[in-house]
Amino acid sequence: MDVVEKNRAAEKLEAVVIRFAGDSGDGMQLTGTQFSDTSAMFGNDIATFPNYPAEIRAPQGSLYGVSGYQVHIGSVEISTPGDEVDLLVAMNPAGLKTNLHAVKPGHTIIVDTDAFTKKNLEKAQYDSNPLEDGILANYRVIEVEMTSLTKAALKDIEGLDNKSITRTKNMFALGMVYWMYNRSTDHTIKFFQNKFKNRPEIIEANTKVLNTGFYFAETLELIPNAYTVSPAKMNPGTYRIIMGNRATAWGFLAAAEKSGLELFLGSYPITPASDILHELSKHGHFGVKTFQAEDEIAGISSAIGAAFAGDLAITTTSGPGLALKGEALGLATMIELPLVVVNVQRGGPSTGLPTKTEQSDLLQALYGRNGESPVIVIAASTPANCFNYAYEAAKLTLEHMTPVVLLTDGYIANGSAPWKILSVDDMPEIKNNIYESNGDTWHPYDRNEDTLARRWPVPGTPGMEHRVGGLEKDRVTGNVSYVPENHEYMTKVRAEKIKRVQNYIPDLKTEFAETGDLLVVGWGGTYGSLHSAVKYMHEEGYSNVGYAHFNYINPLPKNTEDVLKRYKKIVVCELNNGQFAKVLKINFNDFEFTQFNKIQGLPFGNGELMEKFKQLIK
């Protein structure tokens, strides 16, 4: 493994606790040892905690027959095997039952679903199947038919009995975990070659299954929960652990209920956005309509159709999908309908790094369409506030009758954090522009004087028949117009409409220092790392460093310039090559913006941020 690869993984994993649990015959100790050895050779500090029954072969499937192996690996000094588990691999129901308590809420559990038979559930004293009855609702459960996949992988290997085949399924699990944590399979394959020197078929079988598991995780694009926020002082209230993508989905559920509209999602599966589709698909009981379309374009187009017919319409995607949706998003801008596009950003360009995080779709969101085609762009900054910004996106699109792009990213979308639960009663009102004339003369492009939003007459309403379309519209009637002055007027109205959103969004806030030598600027999903880095700076006595985090990108908050003015230097930190810095430069060209960029598919580390900040204020 090369040095770059080594650094990458070591930096990402400050500390992770993984536990393998299964029947004592499932080879959990071997699996755990292999993982910890590989990690140690990889340069991690490790601490392990093997926990197995006294019996060599305890009754199969029983609770006391569970064998577990916990490994705590880290890039920092590790002194304990860890208290709470980030990833549990449960090979059977008993393994799940005896270890579930240790798993951090919101974190990941991999299960072999083939082992969840009626008999095994009884042996583990489960009254109902935990995979179905909802007790795992607060975890990220990855269900894998591990035994069947192992058998399928080995169907062509001769000289193996059924038992030997089934016994290799632990290597399937190990392969998956190796992929998730960027580990090489080399060490383990060498181990097979030494241990089973005279049994080539066993070497072949184990290697094959290990690789199959590795590739299976790659195909599923499994991402470990890498997001951790150290518990700060928390306000009293009722909390739950929530993942960013679920929070996004729930924000839209809340907005639909508040606005009295039905929620429509048109979407096409794409990593790392698909979980929003999965989550909303579960909520037909709230009248949610999810439509898995034939492609990204149909996803957004169906949402435009639903918006035309009066639904709160959204579409969800990631970078390449946003590129495909560009033309349709232009249509929504032209016909001035409410529509939210959620882009869960990942590394690009092209297919890029589907499972890694990046903030490189900002300029695409702002400008990635033909013609003058402005849209509102906002960004969530933590897993929990994905709820708030999804709600806000819905509110803005409905009240301003123009599309909104909501940016999140793989890091916060798959990350989980405590969420002080908000109910619809806590949320601001949402007015919509649905319009029914009571006999008055009206035109489709009549506008609200303050917001410039047009009305929203929907099919099924007598007397409201009208046509919209992608051709330029007459400023009042909405009929096709090629009049030169009208086009210029309408172009400016569409821009002004976005600008006026400034009057309806909060001011930019600063943290830690109102004025000072350095302003740290961030946007979107980097809040956790930037906030903690500036906090540590203050703890070290650097009281002259302030922090401003943007959630509103287009339009920018009204007081942005006032904030920028109060500091001697400004550093814009982003997980891209400087896209938000460009936006700031265009808007505030009297200021000098220093950039701090990281483009490795990884979040910022506190160390690198603090080093940069210190260097800037020297």
Partner 1 sequence: METTAEKKYTYKDFESDQEVRWCPGCDDYVILRSMQKALPEMGVNKEDVVFISGIGCSSRFPYYMDTFGMHGIHGRAPAIATGVKLAKNDLSVWVITGDGDSMAIGGNHFIHVLRRNIDLNIVLFNNEIYGLTKGQFSPTSLVGQKTKSSPYGNTQPPFSPGELALGAHARFFARIGGNTPKEMTEIFVQSEKFSGTSLIEVLQNCPIFNDGAFSEFTDRKVREDRQLFVKHGEPMIFGKERDKGLVLNGLKLEVVTIGENGVTEEDILVHDAGEADPTLHQMLVRSTYPLVTGIIRKFEDVTFEERENKQREEVKLNSKFKKTKDLFFAGDVYEVT
Which residues would be at the binding site for partner 1 (CB under 8 A)?
Answer: 105, 134, 137-138, 234-241, 250, 253-254, 257, 262, 264, 266, 283-287, 289, 291, 293-295, 297-298, 301-311, 313, 327-328, 330-331, 335, 420-425, 458-471, 479-480
Instruction: Quickly list H helices, 260-355.
Output: 274-281, 296-308, 319-335
**From the CB of residue 97, how many other CB atoms can be counted at a distance below 10 Å?**
19
AA letter at 151: K
Q: Least separation, in Å, of the C-beta of 603 and partner 1?
A: 26
Distance separating the N- and C-terminal Cα atoms of the chain: 38
Give whole-number Cα distances, 332 to 171, 280, 430, 440, 442, in Å: 50, 23, 20, 27, 21
DSSP for 345-407?
Answer: E-B-STT-BTTS---TTHHHHHH-SSSS---EEEE--STTTHHHHHHHHHHHHHHHTS-EEEE
Which CB atom, from 46 or from 324, has the smaller least distance to partner 1? 324
Q: Least separation, in Å, of the C-beta of 308 and partner 1?
A: 6
Which CB atom, from 463 or from 607, has the smaller least distance to partner 1? 463
- In the three-class reduction of DSSP (H, G, I as helix; E, B as strand; rest coil), residue 580 is classed as helix
CA 61 from chain centre, in angstroms, equals 36
- Calpha distance 203→339 (Å, rounded): 55
Q: Least separation, in Å, of the C-beta of 260 and partner 1?
A: 13
Give whole-number Cα distances, 232 to 229, 320, 370, 523, 603, in Å: 8, 36, 45, 21, 20
Q: At what angle do helices 244-259 and 386-400 cross, to 10 degrees?
A: 40
Pairing of β 376-379 and β 552-554:
antiparallel
Which CB atom, from 105 or from 352, has the smaller least distance to partner 1? 105
Say if CB 395 and CB 426 are below 8 A apart.
no
Q: Least separation, in Å, of the C-beta of 289 and partner 1?
A: 6
Which CB atom, from 372 or from 472, has the smaller least distance to partner 1? 472
Which CB atom, from 401 or from 519, has the smaller least distance to partner 1? 401
Which CB atom, from 429 or from 465, has the smaller least distance to partner 1? 465
Which CB atom, from 438 or from 589, has the smaller least distance to partner 1? 438
AA letter at 108: T
CA 186 from chain centre, in angstroms, equals 31
Q: Least separation, in Å, of the C-beta of 124 and partner 1?
A: 20
Q: Least separation, in Å, of the C-beta of 486 and partner 1?
A: 16
Q: Least separation, in Å, of the C-beta of 458 and partner 1?
A: 8
Which CB atom, from 78 or from 253, has the smaller least distance to partner 1? 253
SS (H, E, C) 54-84: CCCCCCCCCHHHEEEEEEEEECCCCCCCCCC
**From the CB of residue 127, how many other CB atoms can be counted at a distance below 10 Å?**
8
Q: Least separation, in Å, of the C-beta of 240 and partner 1?
A: 5
Q: Least separation, in Å, of the C-beta of 301 and partner 1?
A: 4
Q: Least separation, in Å, of the C-beta of 151 and partner 1?
A: 34
Which CB atom, from 210 or from 256, has the smaller least distance to partner 1? 256
- In the three-class reduction of DSSP (H, G, I as helix; E, B as strand; rest coil), residue 231 is classed as coil
Angle at 505 between CA 499 and CA 509, to 5 degrees: 115
Structure tokens given for 71: 């490994």
Which CB atom, from 200 or from 287, has the smaller least distance to partner 1? 287
Which CB atom, from 298 or from 610, has the smaller least distance to partner 1? 298
User: If we measure between CA atoms, which residue out of 576, 559, 555 comes closest to residue 374?
Assistant: 555
**From the CB of residue 334, how many other CB atoms can be counted at a distance below 10 Å?**
19
Q: Least separation, in Å, of the C-beta of 496 and partner 1?
A: 24
Which CB atom, from 61 or from 338, has the smaller least distance to partner 1? 338
Q: Least separation, in Å, of the C-beta of 409 and partner 1?
A: 24
